[in-house]
Structure 1
Amino acid sequence: MSLRQQQKANTRSKIKAVAKDAFLKQGIEATSTRYLSTQAGVAVGTLFVHFPDKLSLVKDIFFDEMDTALREAVMAQKACASPIDYLIQTAKMLFEFYDEYAEFTRQVLLDSLAKGGFHTSQMMVISEGISKRFKQVGVDEQTATIFSDNMIANYWHVLLNGVPKGELGMHAIDQLKRLNLPFEMSYRNALKSRKSSAN
């Protein structure tokens, strides 16, 4: 890396560190780009060279923090066969992160929903994980997909009700469990049926 590239990387990193601190203490909306540039010791124009608008800065910080949280969650994650266990384990990690970064989450999630961004892609991956677990116990592909789609719809319902309030704790997890109880029962019945036919 050349000296110039290193300086750019250092400036970008400093802007992000200052912004993260300011956003968490003052709030995103209450923090101006002028304030950020002053605190980072750069011109406003320099800030916009690195981040074209405040939302791009918010997203950059949010995704860095989410990557860290996801890596830590994967390390701590236990294997789970049940679709509901898989969804709940994933939701707990995401909901804790979203609560910690509530204002970031509201802005990034709104942008993602409007433009079909990261959260839509993330839900597709989780949906595939749920469907796979149903198919492993003999549920046909079409039914597994329907179950998975409904479980993800329940996740969205809980998420979109909790995010505006900044409350996605155990109450949200309990609600997600209740909404998905019929799918858990379907999974258990399929598992029981598979074990019976194997004997």
Structure 2
Amino acid sequence: MTSAAGGSPSHPSSSVTRPIRADARRNRARIVEIAELAFTDGGLDVSMDAIAKWAGVGAGTLYRHFPTRDALVAAVLENHQPDLSAEAEVIQNNSVDSGAALERWLDAVSRWMRAYEGLPEPLRTALGEQDSPLRLTCQEVIDTTGEFLQAAQKDGHAREGLTGRNLYLATLAAAWALGTPSADGSTGHELDDLLRSGWRVDS
């Protein structure tokens, strides 16, 4: 192909993004679907090659879509973001007060953090890595946590001086502890009580 002004070949602009082919979209969706099942059954340590095999694609295809495990985990979590956002709205509209809403939201965040065995660790490291594919997902949850916290602080149900980020980190630490071998049947309730006593202002 030549340009109108001369005989030299013309090239498409590098800024033009080619649309993803239908088969590539199907492969990506299938990989994410199988990864979610695999993470549910075996935690995040399941082999990437095994996920590719179960999805019926080659390892190269999987890594073209998801160069790292965190990228695949991020894609799986993105599928659940609408559900988490919807839960936030339900909590906001159906709680007796802003303190109760914050407590219910933190319970929802804790369940989200423990959706798959081993998930708290990549969520933790993502906050310190600017280019982590999980960073945006984590930040969205932190922002929502901050909104619930600020409402509770405004109404006198939560301590002043706390931030949504640090409350998120405290919830993440508790979620990590629940996944350790030393955790038992009482650990969850005791950690919930400890976390609640750290932010709640008793009326």
TM-score (norm 1): 0.69
Q: How far 1:12 sits from its partner (Å)?
A: 0.7
Paired position in structure 1 for 2:53 = 38
Distance 1:6 1:65, change over 3 A: same
Question: 1:12 aligns to what?
Answer: 28
Alignment of 1:14-163 (within 5 A): 14-29=30-45, 31-75=46-90, 77=92, 78-82=94-98, 84-107=99-122, 109-115=123-129, 117=135, 118-135=137-154, 147-149=160-162, 153=166, 156-163=169-176
Measured after TM superposition, the shift of residue 102 of structure 1 is 3.5
Match of 2:23, as an amino acid?
Q
Q: In the alignment, is the contact (CA less than 8 A) between 1:18 and 1:40 conserved in 2?
A: yes
Q: Whose relative contact order is higher, 1 or 2, with alpha carbons under 8 Å and at least 6 apart?
A: 1
Summarize deviations over 1:54-84 as a string: whole Å, max 9, x none. 22001110231243243245335514533x3
Contact 1:123 1:152 in 2 (8 A): yes
Identity of paired residues, percent?
A: 20
C-alpha contact 1:154 1:179 (8 A) present in aligned 2 = no
Matches of 1:26 and 1:136 in 2, distance apart? 43
In structure 1, list runs of 5 or more residues that go unmatched: 138-143, 189-199
Q: Which moved more, 1:38-47 or 1:20-29?
A: 20-29
Equivalenced residues, count: 173
- Residue 39 of structure 2 aligns to which amino acid in structure 1? F
Check conservation: 2:145, 2:168, Cα contact below 8 A: no
Distance in 1 of aligned mates of 2:153 and 2:41:
44
> Considering only aligned residues, what root-mean-square deviation do their CA atoms show, in Å?
3.2
Higher helix share: 1
SS at match of 1:147: coil
What amino acid does structure 2 have at the position aligned with 1:74? E
Counterparts of 1:159 and 1:51, CA distance in 2: 25
Give the alignment's TM-score, normalised by structure 2. Answer: 0.68
Structure 2 gaps of 5+ residues are: 1-18
